[in-house]
């Protein structure tokens, strides 16, 4: 990314949305050279180059450069969005597929999966509030989210309801969480990010 003609590089997943002037939200994979990305300060950041990277975790990452030119940015909906990079106050981006987001955020067309660790923590961690708006969740498609619920329902089918979560160990809860992520096809790197965010959240209570 560049400000005052100084190139700055951003790395992001293919699905991560950026707000492009005149086009609205576009995933990084849909960006093209010349696209004008809206910034916090006003000047647009123009995409100069895009290339693929391949990480050891097995997921693709885009590496692209943008250049700032003086121009007034378009207005738009800022809810649940933020800015990355340094040029012109940062490029306007939005939580994307598999990102970690607050459970109370709305991310259409995506949905926020709070995870089974949320209900387990409600009964096993003092002070934990289930489905708190600031609690960590992971951004999934509606189909993926439905798959996690299907896996959960299969797990509870052979058990006495309501589930007594005080008798479910943390290890069992995480194993169920993995089964649910498996059903949705969530990649390992995204799971690690979710667990890291969850642990950070509960230790901050």
pLDDT of residue 62: 43
- At 83 the pLDDT is 56
pLDDT attached to residue 4: 47
State how far Cα 166 lies from the chain centre.
Answer: 30
Q: Could you report how far apart the first and last alpha carbons of the chain are, in Å?
A: 37
pLDDT of the residue at 104: 80
Q: Contact 46/69 with Cβ under 8 angstroms? A: yes
Residues 6+ apart with CB under 8 A from 50: 31, 32, 33, 62, 63, 64
The mean pLDDT value for 167-193 works out to 94
E-strand ranges in the chain read 8-13, 17-20, 24-27, 36-37, 44-54, 60-69, 81-84, 91-94, 100-102, 111-113, 136-140
What distance lies between CA 92 and its chain's CA centroid? 15
- What distance in Å separates the CA atoms of residue 3 and residue 78, rounded to the nearest whole number? 22
Least confident of 12-21, 51-60, 78-87, 157-166: 78-87
Is the pLDDT at 6 greater than 60? The verdict is no
Mean pLDDT for 16-45 is 77
What is the structure's pLDDT at 74? 34
The whole-angstrom separation of Cα 162 and Cα 148 is: 19
Residue 174 confidence (pLDDT): 94
CA Rg value for the chain: 20
Three-state DSSP class for residue 70: coil
Q: Is the pLDDT of residue 86 over 50?
A: yes
CA–CA gap between residue 87 and residue 43 (Å, rounded): 9
**Tokens representing 86?**
């340094």
pLDDT in tens, 95-111: 677 888 888 877 677 89
Q: Which residues touch 130 (CB under 8 Å, ≥6 apart)?
A: 118, 119, 121, 122
Query: Average pLDDT, whole number, for the chain?
Result: 77
Neighbours of 108 (CB within 10 A): 6
Global pTM reads: 0.60
Task: Give the mean model confidence (pLDDT) for residues 187-192.
Answer: 90
Confidence of residue 123 (pLDDT cuts 50, 70, 90): very high
For residue 58, is pLDDT > 60? no
pLDDT at 158: 81
- Is residue 69 very low, low, confident or very high in pLDDT (cuts 50, 70, 90)? very low
Mean pLDDT, residues 121-133 taken together: 90
Task: For residue 134, name the pLDDT band (cuts at 50, 70, 90).
Answer: confident
């Amino acid at each position: 990314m560049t400000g005052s003609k100084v190139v700055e590089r951003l790395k992001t997943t293919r699905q991560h949305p950026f707000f492009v002037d005149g086009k609205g939200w576009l995933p990084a994979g849909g960006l093209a050279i010349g696209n004008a990305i809206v910034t916090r300060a006003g000047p647009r950041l123009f995409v100069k180059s895009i290339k693929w990277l391949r990480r050891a975790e097995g997921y693709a990452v885009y590496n692209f450069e943008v250049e700032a030119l003086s121009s007034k940015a378009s207005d738009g909906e800022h809810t649940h969005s933020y800015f990355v990079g340094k040029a012109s106050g940062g490029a306007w981006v939005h939580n994307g597929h598999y990102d970690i987001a607050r459970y109370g955020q709305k991310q259409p067309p995506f949905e926020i999966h709070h995870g089974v660790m949320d209900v387990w923590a409600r009964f096993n961690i003092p002070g934990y509030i289930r489905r708190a708006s600031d609690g960590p969740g992971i951004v999934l498609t509606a189909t993926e989210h439905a798959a996690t619920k299907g896996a959960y329902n299969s797990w509870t089918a052979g058990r006495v309801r309501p589930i007594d979560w005080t008798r479910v160990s943390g290890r069992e809860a995480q194993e169920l969480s993995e089964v649910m992520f498996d059903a949705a096809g969530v990649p390992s790197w995204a799971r690690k990010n979710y667990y890291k965010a969850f642990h950070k959240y509960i230790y901050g209570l």
